[in-house]
Amino acid sequence: MAILAVDDSRIMRRLISGAIEVLGYDMLEAGNGVEALEVLEKSYEEVDLILLDWNMPEMDGYTALQKIKEDERFKEIPVMMVTTESERENMVKAIQAGAKNYLSKPFTQEDLTSKIAECLGMGFE
């Protein structure tokens, strides 16, 4: 039971790891789209959710999202964008490309944790 956090900021990945740990999941990380795909190649069977930043070097999040959705092995894994790209059209674009949810920065830690819980289908009663 793992969540893959993809963001070029190590600090942001650390913030996200707090929420992931609270929910009892292991964390896998990647600093850009290319690394994310490499991690998925190795470990996709354990990954229950992908958190994807947008602006990253090598391969941005939107491109990574498209590649994830094109791959038979990865496409069923839910993806949530976690990004500064908060304009409506970007949100719509990402959702249409297959992202399940969207969290724009800045966010509270509680929002982050609740939205991850929501993506994983964790609900009350």
Partner 1 sequence: MSLKITGEEFNLLRNYIRKECGITLEDGKEYLVESRFGKLVAETGSGTFGEFYVKVVNSPKEKYRDKIIDAITTNETSWYRDKTPFVIFEEVILPQLFEKFRAGQIAKARIWSVACSTGQEPYSLAMLIREHCEKHPGLVTPSNFEIMCTDISSSALFIAQSGRYDQVSVSRGLPENLKNKYFTQKGRVWLLSDEVKRMITLKKFNLQNSFTGFGSFDVVLCRNVAIYFSEEFKKDLFFRLSKTMKPDSFFFLGSSESISGYSDKFEMKKYGTGVCYRLKK
Partner 2 sequence: MEQIMKLFVEATMETFTTMVGLTPDAGEIEDVGHIITPSEICANISLSGDNAQGATTITFAREVAIKVVEGFMGEGMADSDEDLYDALGEIVNIIGGAAKAKLSEMQLKLSLPSVTGGNNYFLSLPKDLPIKKVKFTLEDLGEMNLIVYMKHT
Sites of contact with partner 1 (CB under 8 A): 15, 17-19, 21-24, 86-89, 91-96, 99-102, 108-111, 113-115, 117-118, 122-125
Question: Taking the complex as a whole, how short is the minimal distance between the CB of residue 47 and partner 2, in angstroms?
Answer: 24
Alpha carbons 22 and 115: distance in angstroms, whole number: 13
Question: Taking the complex as a whole, how short is the minimal distance between the CB of residue 79 and partner 1, in angstroms?
Answer: 12
Bridging pattern class, strands 26-30 and 2-6: parallel
Q: Is the Cβ of residue 84 or residue 109 nearer to partner 1 in the bound state?
A: 109
**Residue 18, amino acid:** G
Does position 18 interact with partner 2 (CB under 8 A)? The reply is: yes
Alpha carbons 46 and 75: distance in angstroms, whole number: 14
Alpha carbons 80 and 119: distance in angstroms, whole number: 8
Q: With CB cut-offs between 5 and 8 Å by kind, which of partner 1, partner 2, none does residue 85 bind?
A: partner 2
Sheet with 79-83, edge to edge strand ranges: 26-30, 2-6, 47-52, 79-83, 101-104
For the segment 45-104, give every residue that binds partner 2 (CB under 8 A).
55, 57, 83-88, 104
Question: Taking the complex as a whole, how short is the minimal distance between the CB of residue 90 and partner 2, in angstroms?
Answer: 9
**The two three-digit tokens of residue 26, written as one number:** 């292991």
Alpha carbons 119 and 101: distance in angstroms, whole number: 7
**Interface residues toward partner 2, by CB under 8 A:** 9-12, 14-15, 18, 55, 57, 83-88, 104-109, 111
